[in-house]
Amino acid sequence: MSEFVQPLARDGVVSMEGYHSPQVDVAVRLNTNESPVPPPEGFSAAVAVAATELSWNRYPDRHATALRSALAEAHGVTPMQVFAANGSNEVLQSLLLAYGGPGRSAAVFEPTYAMYAQIARTTGTDVLRGTRDADHRLVSDDVMALVADEQPALVFLCSPNNPTGTVDPVGLVADLVDVAAGYGGLVVVDEAYGQFASTSAVDLLAEDRPLVVSRTFSKTWAMAGARLGYLLAPTWCVAELDKVVLPYHLDAFKQAVGILALEHRAAMDDRVAQLVADRNRMAAALDVLPVTAWPSEANFILFRPDTRSGRDVWQALVDRSVLVRDFTNMVGIQGCLRVTIGTTDENDRFIEALGQILGGSLAEAPHEPDTEGD
């Protein structure tokens, strides 16, 4: 038998790092922007009934017809303008499979959601990296120049932006779409946190505009465990996405759960209002501590400790059984941490712990072994 030679992944994969977000056993987990509470009781009961009525021995509807129709009605578009997938990450992957690839490029404006560049690289798409200003906002002239000069196949905008919470002006989105229309590019506005914001790009959608808007059930709908996302787009775009997605990719249970969630929109809207109120309360509490915090229109707040290193503060919070997201090594937001808005009790525990740490009591914190960082 010949000597075993281990197969190697292609160069672009070997050089990559996987997605990292610590999963630590703590009392207060405010690091992944999940809903702090489960779906409404009525929704959960309806899901249990739906599970007994599915034909588990049959493949699901390949086109998720009923779910697409329900989403179309909710957004005032046609079902042919809706594409549903396993979380918004599969939406992004499908876009890059259809419109990216070798010889094509995608523009991102950092700091932003890292999966745009990650998925682009896995599909062999070149990544063009733009930047943001000191307040993490897009600079219109810089953005327009990059897109006009480089003509990327896809332009990714995250609004509200993760991890900064900033919102892109609708006027800038419209201008970018006009530029992209002139050379055959596609503008992707990721509104995973859109329900928490005051503006949306959905109203800009049209058949003659190369614009798509991505949404998710993970945040507002308290369904991160279900992995369900969707996209609103011109019909010609959805038709191309249907070609690259795997057959039967969206299981029957997920389709049923999505439809039921849309029937509980009033309850979900109430939760959004509560989280926005809690976010404003959290921002006010951070204002009196020695940190620099940026305004947010999402369900999280980015901040940088003024008197201690972000990494030391992150560890001190973990030692107090509070977990936030560590972005201290991310380009553009070095030293920063991001806290998800949780329940009132969780928010209070975070503020109390942060106050203790920044008030000089870091040495008094109980010490536990180091935890893996981002």
Average pLDDT on 334-339 reads 97
pLDDT digit string, tens, across residues 210-246: 999 999 988 877 888 889 999 999 999 999 999 999 9
Interacting residues of 6 by C-beta distance below 8 A, sequence separation 6+: none
- Listed residue (321, 295, 325, 322) closest to 310, CA to CA: 325
- The C-alpha atoms of residue 328 and residue 321 are separated, in whole angstroms, by 19
Boundary-marking domain end, from 215, 238, 264: 264
Average pLDDT on 190-200 reads 94
pLDDT at 10: 85
Residue 368, pLDDT above cutoff 90: no
Residue 340, pLDDT above cutoff 90: yes
CATH number for position 33: 3.90.1150.10
374 lies in a domain?
no
What are the tokens at 251?
A: 């299981």
209 lies in a domain?
yes
Q: What is the mean pLDDT of the chain?
A: 91
What are the tokens at 96?
A: 């890059």
Average pLDDT on 252-275 reads 92
- Listed residue (317, 370, 311, 315) closest to 335, CA to CA: 311
Average pLDDT on 16-38 reads 84
What are the tokens at 102?
A: 């070798």
- In this structure, the answer to whether residues 103 and 189 fall within a common structural domain is yes
- In this structure, the answer to whether residues 205 and 77 fall within a common structural domain is yes
pLDDT at 224: 82
Contact 227, 86 (CB under 8 A): yes
pLDDT at 90: 96
- The C-alpha atoms of residue 319 and residue 370 are separated, in whole angstroms, by 9
- In this structure, the answer to whether residues 98 and 33 fall within a common structural domain is no
Domain that holds residue 340: 11-38+266-364
- In this structure, the answer to whether residues 170 and 194 fall within a common structural domain is yes
- In this structure, the answer to whether residues 228 and 346 fall within a common structural domain is no
- In this structure, the answer to whether residues 206 and 336 fall within a common structural domain is no
Q: Which has more confidence, 171 or 2?
A: 171
pLDDT at 9: 87
pLDDT at 300: 97
- In this structure, the answer to whether residues 92 and 185 fall within a common structural domain is yes
Residue 99, pLDDT above cutoff 80: yes
Contact 161, 199 (CB under 8 A): no
Q: What is the 3-state secondary structure (H, E, C) of 228-277?
A: CEEEECCHHHHHHHHHHCCCCCCCHHHHHHHHHHHCCHHHHHHHHHHHHH
Average pLDDT on 56-71 reads 96
pLDDT bracket for residue 24 (50, 70, 90): confident
- In this structure, the answer to whether residues 18 and 64 fall within a common structural domain is no
136 lies in a domain?
yes
- In this structure, the answer to whether residues 255 and 275 fall within a common structural domain is no
231 lies in a domain?
yes
Interacting residues of 73 by C-beta distance below 8 A, sequence separation 6+: none
- The C-alpha atoms of residue 350 and residue 80 are separated, in whole angstroms, by 44
Contact 79, 65 (CB under 8 A): yes
pLDDT at 20: 66
- The C-alpha atoms of residue 55 and residue 251 are separated, in whole angstroms, by 11
Average pLDDT on 312-334 reads 95
Backbone angles phi, psi at 274, to 5 degrees: -65, -40
Average pLDDT on 173-191 reads 97
Boundary-marking domain end, from 264, 297, 329: 264
- In this structure, the answer to whether residues 20 and 165 fall within a common structural domain is no
Average pLDDT on 28-39 reads 90
- In this structure, the answer to whether residues 23 and 56 fall within a common structural domain is no
- In this structure, the answer to whether residues 210 and 272 fall within a common structural domain is no
Question: Distance of CA 124 to CAs 84, 104, 106, 127, 338, Å?
Answer: 24, 8, 10, 9, 30
257 lies in a domain?
yes
25 lies in a domain?
yes
- The C-alpha atoms of residue 115 and residue 361 are separated, in whole angstroms, by 37
pLDDT bracket for residue 267 (50, 70, 90): confident
Residue 372, pLDDT above cutoff 70: no
Lowest-confidence segment of 41-50, 61-70, 251-260, 311-320 by average pLDDT? 41-50
- Listed residue (137, 145, 146, 157) closest to 210, CA to CA: 157
Name the domain count of the chain. Answer: 2
Question: Distance of CA 115 to CAs 40, 162, 347, Å?
Answer: 30, 11, 27
CATH number for position 242: 3.40.640.10
Boundary-marking domain end, from 264, 299, 319: 264
